[in-house]
Amino acid sequence: MIKGAGDVLSVAGDVHVRAPFHLIREAAPYFPLKPELRENRSIINVAKAAILGLTKTVPKECPNAIVFGLIHTR
């Protein structure tokens, strides 16, 4: 998975994440939402979902993986 995966990851990201994102962005004006739901939307949630998927997949091929997550310091 690790060797040579950069190009595959780039293509997979373009097809399975970026393309649907662009479709949703173009279609969004045609799907009415309540005004309070239009605020505080963030693309960071998409990135977090991708990291969670990656974190669950890597240990299948590389058992000694690091899991990224939130650490409360205070």
**Segments forming the whole domain that contains residue 33:** 5-61
Amino acid making up residue 49: A
Placement of tokens 């739901």 in the chain: 37
Q: Is residue 54 part of a domain?
A: yes
Please report the pLDDT score of residue 15 as a whole number: 83
> Who wins on pLDDT, 15 or 39?
15
Q: Is residue 16 part of a domain?
A: yes
| Burial zone of 30 (CB within 10 Å; 0-12 exposed, 13-18 middle, 19+ buried) | exposed
**Confidence tier at 11 by pLDDT (50, 70, 90):** confident
- Strands of the chain (E only): list them: none
Q: Is residue 67 part of a domain?
A: no
Q: Is residue 47 part of a domain?
A: yes
| Burial zone of 37 (CB within 10 Å; 0-12 exposed, 13-18 middle, 19+ buried) | exposed
pTM of the entire structure? 0.51
Q: Express each pLDDT in 16-61 by its tens digit.
A: 888 888 888 888 888 877 666 655 566 677 777 877 887 787 777 7
**Dist. CA 39–CA 41, nearest whole Å:** 6
Q: Is residue 72 part of a domain?
A: no
